[in-house]
Amino acid sequence: MTESLNAKELHADATVVDGLVISNWSREVFEDLHAGGVTAVNCTCRSGKGVARYAGQCRSLEFVVSR
């Protein structure tokens, strides 16, 4: 096996956690992360201006993640 193939196999078998993702969360964002081989993320929502809007976004993610 080549080194490149070993790296691909390792990534495919690994639990890959992205520890800091700041995004405008949507189903598409989660699909892109999944397609890239990410297993889990620490979803960061910014606070400050518009905190109620971002809190609503975080609540709506429950639906996205549960699917």
Q: For position 12, what pLDDT does the model report?
A: 82
Q: For position 6, what pLDDT does the model report?
A: 84
Q: For position 45, what pLDDT does the model report?
A: 64
Task: Encode pLDDT of 3-35 as tens digits.
Answer: 666 888 888 888 888 777 777 777 888 889 888
Task: Encode pLDDT of 29-63 as tens digits.
Answer: 888 988 888 888 877 766 666 777 777 777 776 65
Kind of pairing between the strands at 17-22 and 40-44: parallel
